[in-house]
Copies of this chain bind each other. A is one copy, B any other.
Amino acid sequence: MIDTKDMMIIDALELSNWDRDFVLMLQKGGVTCVHACCGLWENARETLSKVAGWHRFFEEHQDLVMPVKTGEDIETAKAVGKLGIILGAQNTSALEDELGLVSVFNELGVKIMQLTYNNQNLIGSSCYEEVDPGLSRYGKNVIREMNRVGMVIDLSHVGTKTSLDTLALSSRPVAITHANPDWIYPTKRNKSAEVLAALRENKGVLGVCAYPHLINGASTTLEEFCDMISQTVEFMGVDHVGIGTDLTHNMSVDFLAWMRMGRWTHEIDYGAGSKSSPGWPEWPAWFQTPVDFPNIAQGLAARGMTYDEVSKIMGGNWYRFFSEGFKAEKELEKCVSLT
């Protein structure tokens, strides 16, 4: 049995119904830090309300949680035994058409933004659109501005062309917080070897994802999941793979409809689901709640990985990536000139 006590376990995306019980489960699972989704289709004004809601959550549960805006915050969370929470949005809808809002939401601690959710937007296009024209003119400006202020670019739901454009343009490493290689689990949401090779070149990190629709459903075994991780590590290198479960604990069916259909359609859209599996999916037996995080570490160890390798995948890589990625470009230059 591998001991996960001293590991920094970081989950690079959860979309769960946050309450005190959920935090306690994460802590029981040994999790140090979670990237929590605080926006899908929300505009700037609506995102302020989401951030305000998080302020309240941080205040009401300050004995258990703390906001994370820097790598040092993650260290502090680990040291004091609190759960660190990184706010992020799975869309750039909060920016509307205003480049200046990148630094504004960055100041509010929205430290990660996925360029597109499931649809084409002002910046680029998604993996579900028929044609992805790549980064728009505004999109290119947003990439440069995110690079400048230290807001992490996430490509998880983003289309191939927009992803490749971003990986070519970004001066800094990029994240795919929650997706898998599509040659192992072929779905639109998973990533091609071309995109993952470009991510590897960019020194980015891929968060392998346990969302049932992105693997083989609830029947996927721990061994199969860890085998996928192992193959991904072979392709990406052990420093460029982390975990992004996409856990959707205790979420309502209403939220599912909002998540998939926002305000953009009056027809049913199944997102990563399908007509035959329209609801929230069942999760595998070995990952029912965040209490089960150590199972993944055990599975990786059972597959022959060393403590260091498991530790990197369970959170060490994300810790390194976020510590750098959340810094403003100016701070990075300072660090370089000091060394």
Q: Are B107 and A49 closer than 8 Å at their CB atoms?
A: no
Q: Mark A193-233, 1 if CB is under 8 A from B, else 0.
A: 00000000000000000000000000000000000000000
Q: Mark A84-109, 1 if CB is under 8 A from B, else 0.
A: 00000000000000101101100111
Contacts of A103 in B (CB 8 A): 52, 55
Q: Are B107 and A56 closer than 8 Å at their CB atoms?
A: no
The verdict on A48 contacting chain B, using a C-beta distance below 8 Å, is: yes
* A49, A53, A56 pick with most chain B CB within 10 angstroms: A49
Contacts of A98 in B (CB 8 A): 48-49, 52
Q: Are A52 and B108 closer than 8 Å at their CB atoms?
A: no
- CB proximity to B under 8 Å, residues A22-74: 44-45, 48-49, 51-53, 55-56
Once bound together, how far apart are the Cα atoms of A49 and B103, in whole Å? 11
Once bound together, how far apart are the Cα atoms of A222 and B162, in whole Å? 63
Given known A-B contacts A107-B108, A107-B109, A109-B107, A101 and B52 have beta carbons under 8 A apart: yes
Given known A-B contacts A44-B45, A45-B44, A45-B45, A52 and B109 have beta carbons under 8 A apart: no
* A48, A98, A108, A109 pick with most chain B CB within 10 angstroms: A48
Count of identical protomers in the assembly = 2
Q: Are B104 and A108 closer than 8 Å at their CB atoms?
A: yes
- How many whole Å from A158's CB to the nearest CB in chain B? 24
- How many whole Å from A133's CB to the nearest CB in chain B? 27
Given known A-B contacts A104-B108, A107-B107, A44 and B55 have beta carbons under 8 A apart: no
Contacts of A101 in B (CB 8 A): 48-49, 52
Given known A-B contacts A44-B45, A45-B44, A45-B45, A51 and B104 have beta carbons under 8 A apart: yes
* A49, A100, A108, A109 pick with most chain B CB within 10 angstroms: A100
A residues near B (Cβ < 8 Å) are: 44-45, 48-49, 51-53, 55-56, 98, 100-101, 103-104, 107-109
> Could you pull out 25 A-B pairs where Cβ atoms are within 8 angstroms?
A44-B45, A44-B48, A45-B45, A48-B48, A48-B98, A48-B101, A48-B104, A49-B98, A49-B100, A49-B101, A51-B104, A52-B98, A52-B101, A52-B103, A52-B104, A53-B100, A55-B100, A55-B104, A55-B107, A56-B100, A104-B108, A107-B107, A107-B108, A107-B109, A108-B108
